Amino acid sequence: MELRHLRYFVAVAEERHFGRAAARLHMAQPPLSQQIQQLEAELGVTLLHRTTRKVDLTDAGVVYLERARAVLAAVDAAAAEARRVADGLQGRLVVGCVGSATYSLVPAFARALREELPAVDFVFRGEMLAPDQLESLLARRIDLALLRPPVEDPAVRVSAVRRDRLIVALPEDHRLARRKRLKIEDLREEDLIVHASRGRSVMHGIVTELCRSAGFEPRIRHEVAETSTLVTFVAAGLGVAVVPEPVAELGVPGTTYRPLAGNQGVDLVAAVRADDDSPVVARALGLLIRWQERATPRAR
């Protein structure tokens, strides 16, 4: 038995006429009659009562028609689903994000994904430091990483997303909050709150290098893993911090922000596994790049 036998039978059962069924199937009537006879012979039951004027279903035919329709519908649904998956329109995607991207990029990106790929199940894991994202990416726990470069692993493919300007986060009542713009030298005597060291955070290295280039060693008082914790510590008056500009969108009460003089910034990139040929990943990455290009005038 083949699927075509089921399709032939359904056509005859619905048309109640071999001639009309043959026309519907774009085939000659004699081969159609032969195929139905073969199906009945294989099943060992009579499915159709044939007369010169019409065709009626036997009781067995009525039951078989219902099941045949269900089988064909399931086969068609499976084919359609396979095509959607192959086209990247259905599936699952897990996205990892650094802290600043969690607050500034993910909400709008998630809306864009939901609008353009509604059948894809998206999961976002925020506040992930770059090394944790790379480890999770290579371990296949996430599929797309939004992180700060450098990314030097040949097993990872990187695409530029945007460049974020650096700003200074201050307690609202801090003396430096009266200024419109700050220089890195202004932080010489300040307690600094930074992201984790020992290679776990790109921002830790950037802040340290900025201070050393200005001729002083940073006075680091607190190291944190999450951006939300960093901003909360600033609001509590435990120190100041140099952060990417999108962090200001977190909106923690008690914290204010001032631009950092100079053209200081940090890149945000999207990373995927170099051997990942998932259509869903390709579509999501393409959507991210296109969406961010349109948003560039508003994003820094």
Average pLDDT over residues 152-168: 93
Is pLDDT above 50 for 299? no
Instruction: Categorize the per-residue pLDDT at 300 as very low, low, confident or very high, splitting at 50, 70 and 90.
Output: very low
Where in the chain do CATH 3.40.190.290 domains reside? Answer: 94-300
User: How much is the pLDDT for 296?
Assistant: 62
The listed CATH number (3.30.450.30, 3.40.190.290, 3.40.720.10, 1.10.1060.10) that belongs to domain 94-300:
3.40.190.290
pLDDT tens for 186-202 read 999 999 999 887 667 88
pLDDT tens for 257-278 read 999 998 889 999 999 999 998 9
Q: What is the mean pLDDT of the chain?
A: 89
pLDDT tens for 92-139 read 899 999 888 887 788 888 888 888 888 888 899 988 888 899 999 999
The listed CATH number (1.10.600.10, 1.10.10.10, 3.40.718.10, 3.40.50.300) that belongs to domain 3-86:
1.10.10.10
Give yes or no for a contact between 257 and 300, defined as CB atoms under 8 angstroms apart: no
Helix/strand/coil for 163: strand
Phi/psi at 270 (nearest 5 deg)? Answer: -110, 130
- Other CB atoms within a 10 A radius of the CB of residue 232 amount to 18
Q: Please tell me the distance from the alpha carbon of residue 97 to that of residue 286, in angstroms, as a whole number.
A: 17
pLDDT tens for 83-92 read 877 766 778 8
Where in the chain do CATH 1.10.10.10 domains reside? Answer: 3-86
Q: Which residue has the tokens 């820094």?
A: 300
